[in-house]
Structure formats: structure tokens, C-alpha cells
Amino acid sequence: MEQRRPLPIADTSAERPALTGETLETLTANLMAHGEPAFRARQILEWLYKKRVRSWDGMTNLSKPLREWLASAYTLIPASLVSSNQAQDVTDKLLLELSDRALIETVIIRAPQDGVGINHSRKTICISTQVGCAMGCVFCASGLDGFRRNLTAGEIVAQLLAVCHQEDPHSPRADDEFASFDNIVVMGMGEPLHNYDNLLRALTILNAEWGMGFGARRVTISTSGLVPQIQRLAQEKLGFRLAISLHGATDEVRGKIMPVNKRWPLGELLPAAKAFAETHGRMLTLEFILIKDLNDSTDQATRLAAIAKDLHAHVNLIPYNTVDGLAWQRPGETRIEAFAEVLAQRSISFTLRREKGHDINAACGQLRLKAERAREGDSTDRLVP
Ligand code: SF4
């Protein structure tokens, strides 16, 4: 009979890596280095991603010593739910705390379908990739306190598990047919392509058959316009969708609100976006936040239509959500309709987003910002805003 080495208990003084950041290959290598057979890695990942257990003890076909070693070597899920803020329009914003007490936001956006209840609506999950953001877009709450750090791959993946646990109270999960969400948009806090390697590792884990098995084409990565990273992303094997945060149809307007435009102006960004679309054969999305008296003129609409036509892109028009401490405002309804009409007349594919989550601080990063500031000013150190 095969004699196994006893599992050494890992040094817990150093910060433990997250199990959610391991690939099948790295977990297999770690387990084998500790005398476990290779097949244990698949068993463990199945507990995590298919059965979605929330504790090491839930992995009932593993020996107690192995579970103890895993608990000493890894953090199971490196994000815990602080609060869930549901809006009347069926958007649910989760505030999550990481192991260093940093706060991030993850949003569940439900789109009800005809004839089915809200529990069976299509769900899109918006995830964050950084704590804060360095891009400095002047209208955005996420960048207000600057950049703190990149999320690890494990922290990015953990957001999806937090959503699954929030949505499905049963653990371990019984019904393999139940789809927890339909799309992922990487549009939360942070510039995703500034955290390229961790993002790609996380999306690879989400895509893998031993992970969540989530199709790459149901993942949209949104960027403020980092040209070299767009070119790199175009070369990746997994064909993700790409969204460009445009928010200005000329360099003059875009440069007023997005500092990135000085480094990568439209003359460089748009050809890179076009090349990406041609490589992957999928429609791009152009995000365009409508801000009063800044980019809401019919001239901007006409220029945006020309860009969208050239790129064969879909346009998301998003009337601005006001942010505490910033003076930018949402245009009036008439002006929004006039802008949309210009796109419609030119047969541009577009969606005018009636905002989700306006009553739960839905502007990107605002919920987290309020919680951080409440925490700083609260001597009792409560977390819930
Ligand atoms: S809009 Fe996006 S890229 Fe710009 S500061 Fe906010 S999070 Fe960063």
C-alpha cells in the first residue's frame, strides 16, 4: 500500500494565497509537492466551482489532514460580503471586503424577460479589477481617491463566487443545470487592462472546464483606451468581447474628461479597436456617458455615429449618474432624446440605458467611496455604510 508523507502545515504567518487564484496545473503541482495524488486537484476545484462549498469542511471526500493543510495553505474565498444593496430597478450592488480590508464593488444587473419571474431574468455581473483607479477620468467616483492596488486573480474570481453564493442559498449546490449568470462585464472599479496578467489569469480560470466553464464570448472587457494592451488582447486565444469607454467623439471633448486621451488620442485608439474587431469578428461596444453641456450636443452625436459606423460598433448611451462631490450633471430628457435620434437616423445600433441602480449609488465606485469614508470617520469601525 502506498505510504504518504504527512502533510506539513504551511506557515500561516505569511499571507495565504487564494484557492480561487490557482489553475488546475498550479494546484496539482502544489498538492503533488505535498505528497497528494494529482487527481485531488480536480476534486478540490469541483467542490469550489461546481458544488460551490463555502468551507473546507464541506469538501467531504477529502481527508481531515488534507483539509487542515488546505486551510493553512490557502484562503478559500478571499472576499467577504459586507452589504448587498438592492435597487428598485433590480440592480443589486455587492460591497465586498478583501483580506487587507480594502472594499470593492460587484454588481448584479437583472434584465427581466417576458413571461418569467425576476428570479429567472438574465443576469449580467459587473466585476472590479483594481482597488481605486489611476486613470483619473474626471467624472468617475472610482478614481476620486486614486489608485490603491491591483486585485489578484483570486480576488477577481472570488467576486463571481460571492455572487453565486448570494444568489443560491444551497451549499453544496444540488442542481448543475442552474445557471447563476449569463454575462460578465469587466466594467467595475479600475482599468482592467492596467491589471492585464491578473485579469487574464482570472478569466482563464472562469473559462476552464475545471473552473466555471464560462464562455469567453460572454465576457466583455471594457477599457478607457490603452492601445498597446488592446493590441495584446487581440492576440489572445480566448476571444473576449471588447468595449471602449469613449465618452467624447473628438479629442477636444474626450481630452477634457479622460487624461488617457492625451497619451492615446482617437487617431491611435480607433484603429486599434478596429483591428481588434477584425481579428475576433465580433461587434465592438462604444460606451458613451452623456454629460450635460459637455458631450451631449448633436454635433458630438453626429461624430459618434460616424465612428460607430466605421467600427461597425454598438453604442451604449448612458445618461450620467451624479457623483457626490463632482459638479457634472445628467442632461435633460429632451437633450438625451435628441442625441439618440441622431444615432437612430443614421441606423446606428444603440441602446439608451435607462440607468440601473440610481438609488443605490450606482455610479461606478460611489458605494465603496461612501463606505470607505464612513469607515475613516467612524471610531467604532463599523463597515456597513
Ligand atoms: S471610468 Fe473607469 S477608467 Fe476611468 S477612472 Fe473610472 S474606473 Fe478608472
What DSSP string runs through 331-349? PPHHHHHHHHHHHHHTT--
Point out which residues pair with 95 in neighbouring strands: 83, 105
Task: Provide the edge-to-edge strand list for the sheet that holds 241-245.
Answer: 79-86, 91-98, 103-111, 122-126, 183-186, 219-223, 241-245, 285-290, 314-319, 350-352
CB 357, CB 91: distance < 8 Å = yes
Q: What is the pLDDT of residue 121?
A: 73
Look at strands 91-98 and 79-86 and give their pairing: antiparallel
Helix/strand/coil for 142: coil
Phi then psi for 161, rounded to 5 degrees?
A: -65, -35
Regarding the beta carbon of 189 and ligand 1, being less than 6 Å apart is answered yes
- In percent, how much of the chain has pLDDT > 90? 71
Q: What is the mean pLDDT of residues 241-257?
A: 97
Residue written as grid cell 448570494: 166
CB 313, CB 286: distance < 8 Å = yes
Q: How far is the CA of 46 from the centre of ligand 1 (A)?
A: 35
Average pLDDT, the chain: 86
Helix/strand/coil for 219: strand
Helix/strand/coil for 229: helix
Q: Whose CA is nearest to atom 7 of ligand 1?
A: 190
pLDDT tens profile 142-200: 777 789 999 999 999 999 999 888 877 665 655 554 447 889 999 999 999 999 999 99
Q: How far is the CA of 190 from the centre of ligand 1 (A)?
A: 6
Q: Which helix (H) or strand (E) holds 289?
A: strand 285-290
Atom of ligand 1 nearest to the CA of 140: 6
Q: pTM of this prediction?
A: 0.89
Q: How far is the CA of 142 from the centre of ligand 1 (A)?
A: 6
pLDDT tens profile 123-140: 899 999 999 999 999 998
Look at strands 103-111 and 91-98 and give their pairing: antiparallel
- Written as one letter, the residue type at 3 is Q
Q: Is the pLDDT of residue 6 over 60?
A: no
Point out which residues pair with 309 in neighbouring strands: none
Q: What is the pLDDT of residue 170?
A: 62
Within 13 Å of residue 157, how many CA atoms lie on the same side as its CB?
Answer: 32
Q: What is the pLDDT of residue 166?
A: 81
Task: Cite the active site residues.
Answer: 105, 364
**Alpha-carbon gap, residue 147 to 259, rounded angstroms:** 15
Q: What is the pLDDT of residue 355?
A: 57
| Probe residue for ligand 1, chosen from 104, 128, 129, 142 as the CB with the greatest number of ligand atoms within 8 Å | 142
Regarding the beta carbon of 129 and ligand 1, being less than 6 Å apart is answered no
Regarding the beta carbon of 193 and ligand 1, being less than 6 Å apart is answered no
CB 277, CB 263: distance < 8 Å = no
For residue 214, give the DSSP letter: -
**Alpha-carbon gap, residue 77 to 41, rounded angstroms:** 16
Q: Is the pLDDT of residue 246 over 80?
A: yes
pLDDT tens profile 251-272: 999 999 999 999 999 999 999 9
Phi then psi for 232, rounded to 5 degrees?
A: -70, -45
Least confident of 98-112, 286-300, 371-385: 371-385
Regarding the beta carbon of 187 and ligand 1, being less than 6 Å apart is answered no
Q: What is the pLDDT of residue 86?
A: 79
Q: What is the pLDDT of residue 179?
A: 46
Q: How far is the CA of 365 from the centre of ligand 1 (A)?
A: 9
Q: How far is the CA of 2 from the centre of ligand 1 (A)?
A: 55
Atom of ligand 1 nearest to the CA of 188: 7
Q: Is the pLDDT of residue 4 over 50?
A: no
